[in-house]
Structures are given as C-alpha cells and as structure tokens.
Amino acid sequence: MSMKISIISATFNREETIKSSIASLQNQSYGDYEHIIQDGGSSDGTLDIIRSLSDERTFLLSEKDAGIYDALNKALLRASGDVVGLLHSDDIFASDQVLEQVAKAFEDPDVDAVYGDLQYVSKDDTERVIRNWVSGTFSREKLAKGWMPPHPALFLRRSLIDDLGAYDTSFQIAADYDTILRYFSQPDFKAIYIPHVFVKMRVGGESNRSVGRILRKSYEDYLALKANGIGGLYALFFKNFSKIGQFF
C-alpha cells in the first residue's frame, strides 16, 4: 500500500519564490502526497500564484497566525499523511526523487525519521551554493555535541509527532531545534540518513537576518538543550562551531 506524505508549507508574501517551490514538489516522481499550505494572510500575489498552480493534492488555507510555528501547528492539524515533511516557501527540492527516496526508507515500520543534506543557495541563483550542510549519520551521543539534522531536510513519521507533540510556540526561533531534540533523544529512536541533498534553501532565513536574531536564537537553543536534558553551553558552542566547515 502506498504511503501518503504530507508536505507542509507556511507562506506569507512570497510571490517571488512560491512558484519554484511548488514546482519542485509537483515535479516529484513520487505522487502520493498532499500539499498543506498555511498562509498567514498574504497581501501580495502569493495566493493568486498558489491557486493558479493548485491541483487535487493542494490544500490552501489563508488566515492570520501568531508566527511560523503557530502556522506549522495549524497545518499539522490539517495533515492526513503517514509521514510529514516541510517545504518552506523560499526552498526547493533539490531533485525530483526526494519523496521517492523518503518513502522507500519509511517502508521499514521501525523508522521514525528520514533526513538528507541541505544546501544554502543564493537568493537570485539557486545553482550557486553558499553553504553545504552534510548531515552525517545519527547517534544519540552527537546531540550533546550540538549535532542536528537540517530541519527542512527532515521527514518524520506522523505517529511520532502525535505522541510527543508538535512545535512549542513559546520559542520564537528555535522551536524546530526543540522538537528535534525531543524526538531524537527518545529511547530506541531510529533515523535513516540518506546522503543526498534533499533541499536547497535560499539565504536570508528568519533566524539569521540580524545580530539580535542570532543572539536570540543562541539563547533559545540553550533553553531547548536544557529543557530536553541534552546539554548546555558545551553543546551550544559545538553546534555553532560546526557550521564553519559548511562554507568550505
């Protein structure tokens, strides 16, 4: 029996990038997916573009939200797939085989998560790679050294989210890191790493747009580490230090 994958997108005024994002999903070789789009009330041409590209697998809802994690939680409530992944409105899938690879890995019923690699690319040229995030295989010990898989390249079994909860909206920036620590630290957690680039992300993300946001993210990362009993300043230091090598 085919496995349905829910792809969730939170959008707000992204008329410049949403078309390529949706196209990268609709070009996937694996067709059993639904696209849950949670729009925050866009006032530009975003909604018109989405509607023009929508098919029977597209489910759009536009309403005000309290931020990206609130939007993602709302979308999760609408999702019906066995597996959940994200596709941010600035991002594109790196190849048309991503969902096919993910679905195959989830054929093992013991697998909780599947993830790949991520490339940060130029906003104006998605072929120009600025930073290359090679995830590597997972072990629980790596969490205490600041390791995490790239959130946009991560797919989770829906039952895991239902059991452990979705995004904690008390975090403004680091709710994704908090969920990863919460999920990946579970006993007998099984994650499959596929050493291929899953997603290309345009530079200029929410967490890195200013010095203040960077400092806020570091503070929230520390809170997430402490809340999940993973570590503290040591893990936070290596989490940030490990990013240096991604630029070379």
Q: Map out the domains of the chain as residue ranges.
A: 5-247
Given a cut of 60, whether residue 106 has pLDDT beyond it is yes
Which of 45, 42, 50, 64 lies closest to 22 in space, CA to CA?
A: 50
Given a cut of 80, whether residue 230 has pLDDT beyond it is yes
119 or 2, higher pLDDT: 119
In this prediction, residues 155-176 reach a mean pLDDT of 96
Percent over 70 (pLDDT), the chain:
89
Distance between CA atoms of residues 170 and 206, nearest Å: 16
Given a cut of 70, whether residue 193 has pLDDT beyond it is yes
Dump pLDDT digits (tens) for 54-103.
999 999 999 999 999 999 999 999 999 999 999 999 999 999 999 999 99
Instruction: Give 220's contacts (C-beta < 8 A, 6+ positions apart).
Output: 171, 172, 173, 174, 177, 178
Q: How confident is the model at residue 1 (pLDDT cuts 50, 70, 90)?
A: low
Q: How confident is the model at residue 247 (pLDDT cuts 50, 70, 90)?
A: low
Q: Helices (DSSP H) in 54-89: which residue ranges?
A: 68-78
Q: How confident is the model at residue 225 (pLDDT cuts 50, 70, 90)?
A: confident
In this prediction, residues 103-117 reach a mean pLDDT of 98
* Amino acid 20: pLDDT: 97
| CATH topology classification for 5-247 | Spore Coat Polysaccharide Biosynthesis Protein SpsA; Chain A (3.90.550)
Q: How confident is the model at residue 207 (pLDDT cuts 50, 70, 90)?
A: very low
Percent over 90 (pLDDT), the chain:
77
CA trace torsion 244, 116, 92, 99 (10° rounding): 180
Distance between CA atoms of residues 91 and 18, nearest Å: 8
* Amino acid 218: pLDDT: 82
